[in-house]
Amino acid sequence: MALPNHPDVAHAFVRTLLDCGYEWVLVQEHTVERLDGGGVDRPHVPHRLVCTSSTGETASIVAVVKTQGSDTKLVGQMQPYYEAKGLSRQDLAGHSVPPLVTQIADGENGGVMMNEFPAKYEEVVRECSGTATSMMNVTEYLEQLHGTGVDVEDLPVIQPLLQHRIWERMSPGDGPDRLTAVTTELAGEDGRFHVESIRGH
């Protein structure tokens, strides 16, 4: 769940995922931004994570935004299902699409996954069967989206957090030396600025 935000590292990260055959990645909402530096405003639709290096190379992969903090209790209680029930379909590239709600567990704590999850999972499966709020994995969801005519190019674009500030001061292709100078300047001006992996809560 760690997403590197250094432009060259992020580009290499996505390039490696693609080379290994991955088609999508799960990112946390607080680790990405729109190209204008704003926060993600449509977290329940897939995005296209675009990573550009200092030499001007670009790599992109489908990114699904996980909107809640990593919490075993939320997964154990099937929180994504109940969140999804309260959401409406959204417009994406002229198509009405169902929202996607995802969650992760950060490991076993207090026996939640072993003791609470199985019964709650079975309960939710029974409740959602035959309804408009269906359970599916991300790959199934993306396949259905593609089947309705939504292409990868139609997805809203995001990039790793804080890259907007970098690209305000340099252009892709200016090279790694310029990138180092810019990130050093930004870190000197703002102690909260950093280029490293942004980890989950």
Non-local CB neighbours of 175 within 8 Å, separated by 6+ positions: 54, 55
Check residues 52 and 103 and name the one with the higher pLDDT: 52
Average pLDDT over residues 23-44: 95
Query: Tens of pLDDT along 139-163?
Result: 999 999 999 999 999 999 999 999 9
Query: Using the 8-state DSSP alphabet, how is residue 55 labeled?
Result: T
Nearest to 83 by CA among 95, 108, 66, 61: 66
Backbone angles phi, psi at 50, to 5 degrees: -110, 125
Question: What's this model's pTM, rounded to 2 decimal places?
Answer: 0.90
3-class SS shares of the chain: helix, strand, coil, % to 5: 40, 20, 45
List the chain domain ranges: 3-66+153-198, 72-135
Q: Is the pLDDT of residue 201 over 50?
A: no
